[in-house]
């Protein structure tokens, strides 16, 4: 069986299982098995993969047909032009979170301090904290997560990009955690899906991503209500916090922080959706 035949067969199976881009994903999976670029496949359509390679490819196509996210199969996701290791213990980093990192980095760049202390609440794969550490050498970061397994992923990524010496990983429930430090900047992409909506999400998210990364309580706003009254105790004077919010949540999140005497501004994502709330006082 050639590369071309294998890809056509896999694309057909993926399409039958309602995968949105079956040809593209068949290519990604075969390239992953053969340890080549997708472009190599198109340049070598008559190449015949070995028996073991075809067996592995079939197994991966089968996993994807059961709607396991492609990123958990290939253990990788690009974020902020970095390649993150991911597995099913962490959320797959999303493009909209890059807006949060971009705004946080702008703030850090304009801050005249030599050292900027950062707190990442709900670090997951480390997408936010590792990117901030990678793009700004003056940051020292505490990265907190309730999931020990997610933090292990974050550590892998911090080591991969040689920023592990500037990130302290803290396995704790934020709602119970007592801070010993104060921070110049707080970043968080918290779980914000209203609990009853989780059932309606696509199978890749609903059946595979960690519930703790999704479940924002009854109305999705549990985390913001827990952060707002504590923020003055966590933040150094002149500091700022950047939090991601779900679609249609920005106004309610702004109100939660305003009710606690805090100032806010809102940034949109590339789809024009209000996505990041900046908090300052
Ligand atoms: C939406 S994910 C974000 C992961 C990563 N920061 C990103 O942007 O891709 C939220 C993360 O918050 C963590 N989390 C949920 N509840 C928490 C809590 N009470 N205390 C600390 N971390 C929590 C979850 O384990 C998950 O890793």
Query: Tens digit of pLDDT for each residue in 160-186?
Result: 999 999 999 999 999 999 999 999 999
- Asked if 106 and 243 sit in the same domain, the reply is yes
Q: How far is CA 141 from CA 98, 169, 192, in A?
A: 18, 9, 23
* Percent of the chain residues past pLDDT 70, beyond the cut: 100
- Contact in structure between 41 and 11 (CB atoms under 8 Å): no
CA proximity to 107, closest of 186, 30, 207, 35 = 186
17 shares a domain with 142: no
Residue 113 above 90 pLDDT? no
Same domain, 116 and 234: yes
**173 Cβ below 6 A of ligand 1:** yes
From 124, 189, 275, the mutation candidate for ligand 1 (largest count of ligand atoms within 8 A of CB) is 124
Mean pLDDT for all residues in the chain: 97
Decide: 175 in ligand 1 pocket, CB within 6 A.
yes
> What pLDDT, on a 0 to 100 scale, did the predictor assign at position 206?
97
Please give the average per-residue pLDDT across 23-30, as a whole number.
98
pLDDT for 33 beyond 80:
yes
73 occurs within a structural domain? no
Question: Does 245 lie in the same domain as 176?
Answer: yes
Predicted confidence (pLDDT) per residue in 134-163, tens digit? 999 999 999 999 999 999 999 999 999 999
The CATH number of whichever domain residue 223 belongs to comes to 3.40.50.150
Domain extent for 45 = 3-66
Domain closes at, from 66, 88, 104: 66
Q: Whose CA is nearest to atom 5 of ligand 1?
A: 124
With 0-12 / 13-18 / 19 or more C-beta atoms within 10 angstroms meaning exposed / middle / buried, residue 129 is buried
What are the start-end ranges of the E strands in 105-234? 116-121, 139-145, 167-171, 183-188
97 lines ligand 1 (CB under 6 A): yes
Q: Is 150 in the pocket of ligand 1 (CB under 6 A)?
A: yes
Is pLDDT of 111 > 90?
no
Q: Nearest residue CA, atom 13 of ligand 1?
A: 122
pLDDT at 112: 76
pLDDT tens-digit readout, 224-268: 999 999 999 999 999 999 999 999 999 999 999 999 999 999 999
* 72 inside domain: no
Helices 3-16 & 22-34, crossing angle to 10 degrees?
130
Confidence of residue 209 (pLDDT cuts 50, 70, 90): very high
């Amino acid at each position: 069986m050639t590369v071309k035949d294998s890809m056509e067969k896999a694309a057909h199976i993926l399409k039958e299982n309602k995968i949105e881009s079956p040809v593209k994903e068949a290519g990604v999976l075969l390239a992953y098995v053969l340890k080549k670029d997708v472009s190599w496949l198109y340049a070598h359509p008559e190449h015949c993969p070995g028996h073991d390679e075809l067996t592995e490819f079939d197994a991966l196509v089968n996993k994807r047909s059961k709607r396991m996210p492609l990123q958990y199969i290939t253990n990788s996701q690009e974020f902020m032009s970095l390649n993150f290791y991911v597995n099913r213990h962490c959320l797959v980093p999303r493009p909209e979170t890059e807006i949060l990192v971009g705004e946080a980095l702008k703030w850090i760049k304009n801050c005249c301090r030599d050292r900027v202390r950062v707190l990442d609440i709900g670090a997951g794969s480390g997408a936010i904290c590792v990117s901030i550490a990678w793009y700004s050498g003056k940051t020292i970061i505490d990265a907190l997560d309730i999931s020990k397994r997610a933090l292990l992923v974050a550590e892998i990524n911090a080591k991969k990009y040689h920023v592990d010496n500037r990130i302290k990983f803290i396995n704790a429930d934020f709602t119970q955690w007592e801070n010993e430090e104060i921070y110049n900047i707080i970043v968080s992409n918290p779980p914000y899906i209203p609990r009853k909506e989780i059932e309606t999400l696509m199978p890749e998210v609903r059946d595979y991503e960690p519930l703790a990364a999704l479940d924002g309580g009854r109305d999705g706003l549990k985390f913001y209500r827990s952060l707002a009254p504590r923020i003055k105790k966590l933040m150094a004077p002149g500091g700022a916090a950047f939090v991601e919010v779900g679609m249609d949540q920005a106004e309610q999140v702004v109100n939660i922080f305003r009710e606690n005497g805090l100032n806010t501004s809102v940034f949109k994502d590339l789809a024009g959706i209000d996505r990041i709330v900046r908090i300052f006082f």
